[in-house]
């Protein structure tokens, strides 16, 4: 072999050796890596593989229900067939929605809502596409599920309000969680999850919500569930039992129909609120599914303000329903006695102006009892002048005016009982004597709510016990105990005078509500009318023949009040009725109050055994009504 060939052979051999060594190195590295992955890391990657095929899902807890005192379900849970979308499991959200729309109808508004959510939320978060599907539509989505990328049919639970508008302001409603409301509770991020937005639903949201559960499922590469491995249902929300009587509530709402009005009925001994009616109202079920723009605009434009709970959120001057407070202030201060008389000629002069009685010809000589019966303004101007604003303020607050009771209703207004200090602080001006006279007949700065006037009337009728309104009987396993109301220290003789006057209002000829009395023997009520001036007719209008009442536009008519207790012989119930721009208490307030109170007395709900506290998940049958 030649030298040149030998050199070439040696070079080839070295290259071969180098290549072989490199190959062996690579193989060694691969085998080493395989050993590391399959042996050393086998447990870790097995766990990761399990994570890829197993998914842990959060389960929304069943929301607690709400019942009336007799077990009638006021807020229920019903099946909700819906469709959700998971963006990361789709090629395109738009394409998935297009595909889904070939099987069920998806409105343009729903499409836009999903696209907005997809742009804001994380890709793996579920987005509700449509809810409350019919069974046929839901089944159609299920059958075609394998071809619908990222689309998932889901059978959830939805809130339902069987009595709709009759309880809108009391029970309230639930609606979707907005971004500002999401906190550290992960259940709030679940698709379609809803929380309380008003009424009882808002007041005890956390108790009604419960605690989330979870389930572990096996999924395929496309995220479709193959089987459920384990399930923890979580803890259902607590059920609430209210003091309300649904039957009476519905009757009251029916009686208020067509008016902008409110009615409150209370047990004068316990404070149990049996009726809390505000009209007009709205259907809370509209908010659960998402209210349409058309319905929302109609609510906003309605002059009767259907979204306002007038029983606790409407503050108005009480008018002549306040005269019992003025009388007691004068009596308790010792500046008047039950036997004092004041002569009413129809007007009086005080503070460089003339003060008129509603009866231009005057009432003549008035005792305190008859002054209440006839609602004589001159008598109560004189009583207020003698008592002074300080005594009137103290007496009003003793009877529950000017305070929020915080008894379970959100957005409760405290009203206003004016005083010298209040005026200095809020108006920067000293109190004027004429303002005391205005306050004495329930006008001026004075503001009250229907629930406050019902409480005031209850305290008058129960002998001066400081009862407060109560709307919860129980929550979950906890029963709210009844607390004895403390005596307010008001003279029984003085109370007797004003109660006798209220009896005269309704049951004696000449009383301002004699035409709206209850005729049934033993069911008589005793009440007090109230009319609140909204607009003062000008001299020019008067000369032109304009008079108060129907001749004025609705928004300029006087407000109407009526408060009462019954039965007269053995008081047990108090009522207050307010009719916005109802013209007069005798015309609008008294007839409504009479009819509602008559229903209450015929049923006499406090004499019927109410249900015991309801355990969560327990089925409760409605109580027998008196018609049956």
Q: What is the CATH number of the domain that holds 88?
A: 3.90.1310.10
| Max avg pLDDT among 12-26, 143-157, 300-314 | 300-314
The residue with tokens 């006798």 is 500
Q: Assess whether 202 and 335 both reside in one domain.
A: no
**What's the burial of 462, exposed, middle or buried (CB within 10 Å: 0-12/13-18/19+)?**
buried
pLDDT, position 259 = 97
Q: Total structural domains in the chain?
A: 2
What is the value of pTM for the model shown?
A: 0.82
Q: Is residue 28 part of a domain?
A: no
How far is CA 48 from its chain centroid? 48
By DSSP bridging, strand 261-267 and strand 526-532 are unpaired
Q: Which of 96, 198, 260, 320 is catalytic?
A: 320
Do 199 and 410 form a contact (C-beta atoms < 8 A)?
Answer: yes
Q: Assess whether 224 and 361 both reside in one domain.
A: no
Tell me which residue of 475, 410, 473 sits closest to 209, measured CA to CA.
475
pLDDT above 70 as % of the chain: 79
The residue with tokens 């004189």 is 382
Q: Which residue has the higher pLDDT, 612 or 232?
A: 232
Q: What CATH number is given to the structural domain containing 410?
A: 3.40.710.10
> Of 223, 242, 261, which residue constitutes the final position of a domain?
242
Q: How far apart are CA 163 and CA 285, in angstroms?
A: 10
Kindly list the distances between the CA atom of residue 609 and the CA atoms of 287, 468, 479, 605, in Å, as whole numbers in the listed order.
34, 22, 15, 8
Q: Assess whether 398 and 331 both reside in one domain.
A: yes
Q: Is residue 479 part of a domain?
A: yes
Beta bridge partners of 530: 561
> Does the pLDDT value for residue 313 go beyond 50?
yes
DSSP category for residue 380: H
pLDDT, position 612 = 60
Q: How far apart are CA 530 and CA 184, in angstroms?
A: 50
Q: Is residue 18 part of a domain?
A: no
Q: How far apart are CA 367 and CA 357, in angstroms?
A: 16
Catalytic site includes residue 320: yes
Q: Assess whether 378 and 267 both reside in one domain.
A: yes
Q: Which residue has the higher pLDDT, 61 or 148?
A: 61
**What's the burial of 519, exposed, middle or buried (CB within 10 Å: 0-12/13-18/19+)?**
exposed
Q: Which residue has the higher pLDDT, 486 or 135?
A: 486
The residues near 490 (Cβ < 8 Å, ≥ 6 apart) are 328, 332, 398, 464
SS3 content of the chain, % helix, strand, coil (to 5): 40, 20, 40
pLDDT, position 177 = 85
**What's the burial of 103, exposed, middle or buried (CB within 10 Å: 0-12/13-18/19+)?**
middle
Q: How far apart are CA 40 and CA 286, in angstroms?
A: 59
Instruction: Return the HEC string of 165-177.
Output: HHHHHHHCCEEEC
Q: DSSP H helical segments within 420-554, as ranges?
A: 420-427, 433-440, 450-461, 492-507, 539-543
Q: Which residue has the higher pLDDT, 120 or 352?
A: 352
pLDDT-based confidence at residue 617 (cuts at 50, 70, 90): very low
> Of 242, 272, 291, which residue constitutes the final position of a domain?
242
Among the residue ranges 46-50, 112-116, 133-137, the one predicted with the least confidence is 46-50
Q: Is residue 50 part of a domain?
A: no
End-to-end CA distance of the chain: 125
Q: Assess whether 226 and 256 both reside in one domain.
A: no
| Strand ranges for 481-599 from DSSP E | 526-532, 559-566, 573-579
Q: Is residue 153 part of a domain?
A: yes
Q: Assess whether 71 and 205 both reside in one domain.
A: yes
Q: How far apart are CA 304 and CA 308, in angstroms?
A: 9
Q: Per residue in 206-234, is it b (16+ CB within 10 Å) or e — as a string?
A: eebbbebbebebeeeeeeeeeeeeeeeeb
Span 233-253, mean pLDDT?
93
Q: Assess whether 222 and 301 both reside in one domain.
A: no
Q: Assess whether 146 and 81 both reside in one domain.
A: yes
Q: Is residue 587 part of a domain?
A: yes
Do 240 and 200 form a contact (C-beta atoms < 8 A)?
Answer: yes
Q: How far apart are CA 499 and CA 22, in angstroms?
A: 111
The residues near 324 (Cβ < 8 Å, ≥ 6 apart) are 372, 456, 460, 498, 501, 502, 528
Q: Assess whether 428 and 493 both reside in one domain.
A: yes
pLDDT above 90 as % of the chain: 60
The residue with tokens 């004895």 is 484
Tell me which residue of 344, 556, 561, 370 sits closest to 450, measured CA to CA.
561
Q: Which two tokens stand for residue 536?
A: 């003062």
By DSSP bridging, strand 573-579 and strand 559-566 are antiparallel
Span 110-116, mean pLDDT?
75
Tell me which residue of 158, 197, 205 sits closest to 174, measured CA to CA.
197
Q: Assess whether 420 and 280 both reside in one domain.
A: yes
Residue 68's domain spans which residues?
Answer: 58-242
Q: Assess whether 155 and 230 both reside in one domain.
A: yes
Span 294-319, mean pLDDT?
95
Span 550-566, mean pLDDT?
93
Q: How far apart are CA 595 and CA 566, in angstroms?
A: 12
pLDDT-based confidence at residue 289 (cuts at 50, 70, 90): confident
Q: Is residue 375 part of a domain?
A: yes
pLDDT, position 581 = 95
Q: Assess whether 123 and 269 both reside in one domain.
A: no
Q: Is residue 179 part of a domain?
A: yes
Average pLDDT across the chain, whole number: 85
């Amino acid at each position: 072999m030649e030298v040149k060939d030998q050199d070439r052979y040696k070079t080839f051999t070295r290259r071969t050796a180098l290549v072989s060594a490199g190959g062996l190195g690579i193989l060694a590295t691969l085998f080493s890596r395989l050993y590391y992955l399959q042996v050393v890391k086998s447990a870790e990657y097995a766990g990761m593989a399990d994570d890829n095929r197993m998914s842990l899902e959060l389960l929304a807890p069943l929301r607690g229900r709400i019942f009336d005192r007799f077990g009638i379900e006021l807020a229920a849970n019903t099946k909700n067939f819906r469709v959700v979308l998971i963006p990361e499991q789709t090629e395109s959200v738009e394409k998935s929605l297009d595909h889904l729309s070939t099987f069920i109808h998806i409105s343009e508004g729903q499409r836009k809502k999903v696209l907005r959510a997809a742009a804001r939320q994380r890709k793996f978060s579920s987005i509700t596409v449509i809810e409350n599907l019919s069974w046929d539509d839901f089944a159609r989505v299920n059958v075609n599920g394998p071809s619908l990328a990222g689309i998932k049919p889901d059978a959830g639970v939805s809130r339902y309000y069987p009595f709709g508008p009759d309880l809108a302001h009391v029970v309230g409603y639930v609606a979707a969680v907005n971004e500002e409301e999401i906190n550290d509770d992960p259940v709030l991020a679940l698709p379609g999850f809803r929380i309380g937005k008003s009424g009882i639903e808002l007041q005890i949201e956390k108790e009604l919500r419960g605690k989330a559960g979870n389930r572990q499922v096996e999924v395929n590469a496309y995220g479709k569930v193959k089987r459920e491995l384990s399930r923890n249902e979580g803890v259902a929300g607590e059920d609430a039992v209210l003091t309300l009587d649904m039957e009476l509530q519905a009757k009251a709402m029916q009686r208020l129909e067509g008016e902008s009005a409110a009615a409150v009925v209370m047990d004068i001994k316990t404070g149990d609120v049996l009726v809390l009616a505000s009209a007009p109202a709205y259907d809370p079920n509209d908010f659960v599914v998402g209210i349409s723009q058309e319905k929302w605009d109609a609510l906003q434009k309605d002059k009767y303000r259907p979204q306002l709970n007038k029983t606790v959120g409407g503050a108005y001057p009480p008018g002549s329903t306040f005269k019992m407070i003025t009388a007691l202030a004068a009596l308790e201060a010792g500046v008047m006695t039950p036997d004092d008389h004041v002569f009413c000629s129809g007007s009086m002069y005080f503070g460089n102006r003339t003060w008129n009685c509603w009866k231009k010809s005057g009432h003549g000589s008035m005792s305190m009892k008859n002054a209440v019966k006839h609602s004589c303004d001159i008598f109560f101007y004189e009583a207020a002048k003698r008592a002074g604003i300080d005594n009137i303020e103290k007496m009003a607050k003793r009877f529950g005016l000017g305070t929020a009771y915080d008894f379970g209703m959100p957005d409760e207004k405290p009203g206003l009982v004016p005083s010298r200090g209040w005026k200095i602080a809020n108006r920067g001006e000293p109190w004027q004597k004429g303002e005391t006279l205005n306050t004495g007949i329930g006008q001026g700065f004075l503001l009250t709510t229907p629930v406050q006037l019902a409480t005031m009337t209850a305290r008058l009728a129960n002998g001066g016990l400081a009862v407060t309104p109560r709307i919860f009987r129980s929550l979950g396993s906890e029963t709210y105990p009844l607390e004895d109301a403390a005596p307010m220290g008001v003279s029984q003789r003085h109370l007797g005078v004003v109660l006798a006057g209220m009896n005269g209002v309704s049951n004696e000829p000449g009383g301002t509500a004699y035409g709206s009395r209850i005729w049934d023997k033993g069911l008589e009520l005793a009440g007090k009318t109230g009319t609140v001036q909204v607009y003062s007719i000008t001299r020019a209008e008067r000369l032109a023949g304009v008079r108060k009442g129907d001749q004025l536009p609705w928004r300029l008519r006087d407000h109407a009040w009526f408060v009462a207790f019954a039965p007269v012989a053995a008081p047990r119930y108090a009522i207050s009725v307010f009719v916005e721009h109802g013209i007069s208490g005798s015309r609008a307030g008294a007839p409504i109050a009479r009819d509602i109170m008559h229903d209450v007395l015929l049923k006499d709900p406090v004499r019927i055994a109410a249900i015991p506290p309801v355990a969560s998940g327990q089925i409760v049958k409605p109580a027998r009504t008196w018609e049956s």
